[in-house]
Amino acid sequence: MRIAQVLLIAVFFSACNSPETETGPDNGRPLETETQIVDLSYPFDEDTVYWVTAETFEHEEVFVGQNPNGFFYSAYNYAGAEHGGTHIDSPIHFAEGKLTVDEVPLEKLIGDGFKIDVSKKTPEDRDYLVSVADIEEWEKANGRIPDGAILLLETGFGQFYPDKAKYLGTAERGEEAIKKLSFPGLAPEAAKWLVDNRKINAIGIDTASIDRGRSETFDAHVTLMTNDIPAFENVANLDKLPAKGFRIIALPMKIKGGSGGPLRIIAEIPKQ
């Protein structure tokens, strides 16, 4: 083979393998080779935070050890309420006839993420409500929240998880403990503002509820879920995310007819 032909073949294969021309399976889109993955989910174990009246997580050993046939084997049974740990509230949780967790379109669970950080305002007010003013202040600095956004609210309470007394306001359980719940949430008027003025696909928060702990009417839940907007609760590691410029993938357990379920949620952040 002539030298010129060898060089031509070498150049061809070099171009094909160049990172600038490497593409993925979706219509020639370049592969995201420089991406940081942030896990936004807490593990499920004996410390998992559940609502004070909900069944907690159980993990029962079925078998662990050497099987009689000569190989290692482990298996467990698990149980727990739909709403505990990092989980999703599907719209039917607070809105009759709306989407169950298995019906929530994947398009609502995967998309561009945006984070509003109010963590500097909550140390002096455990029951702080994320307000319309907080959203407008964020938009002045970062631009309008676009259609299809997945909006995350950082209150700073993730630092307390899973210490129930600090995270929930009480370590007690049962109906009487409800009166002692104390943690931030989304203001009802802010939930309505988002529904009326923006078209978000989902919303998440680093507390046990999108409504603050002492809420009795759960107005933010009702407003959002009446409009088929699911909520992610007990979201972890929000302090590791920027205000924008990341992608969210939030995949819940697909419980048929469920009002919610455990959620594995991650953020993809392009490396600079």
DSSP 190-244: HHHHHHHH---SEEEESSS-SS-TT-SS-HHHHHHHHTT--EEES---GGGS-SS
SS3 category, 246: strand
By C-alpha distance, which of 181, 202, 191 is closest to 250? Answer: 202
By C-alpha distance, which of 199, 232, 262 is closest to 91? Answer: 232
**Chain centre to alpha carbon of residue 40:** 6
Tens of pLDDT, residue by residue over 206-244, are 999 999 999 999 999 999 999 999 999 999 999 999 999
Q: For 117, phi and psi rounded to 5 degrees?
A: -105, 115
* pLDDT over 70 at 268, yes or no: yes
Query: How large a percentage of the chain has pLDDT more than 70?
Result: 88
* pLDDT over 60 at 79, yes or no: yes
* pLDDT over 90 at 58, yes or no: yes
* pLDDT over 90 at 16, yes or no: no
d(CA 210, CA 14): 52
pTM for this entry: 0.87
d(CA 170, CA 157): 14
* pLDDT over 50 at 45, yes or no: yes
**Chain centre to alpha carbon of residue 237:** 10
Residue 214, exposed/middle/buried by CB under 10 A (0-12, 13-18, 19+)? middle
pLDDT on residue 33: 57
Question: How many C-beta atoms lie closer than 10 Å to residue 99's C-beta?
Answer: 18
Q: Average pLDDT, stretch 97-110?
A: 98
Confidence of residue 3 (pLDDT cuts 50, 70, 90): very low
pLDDT on residue 34: 87
Q: Hey, what are 139's tokens?
A: 């938009």
- Which distant-in-sequence residues (6+ apart) come within 8 Å of 71 by Cβ? none
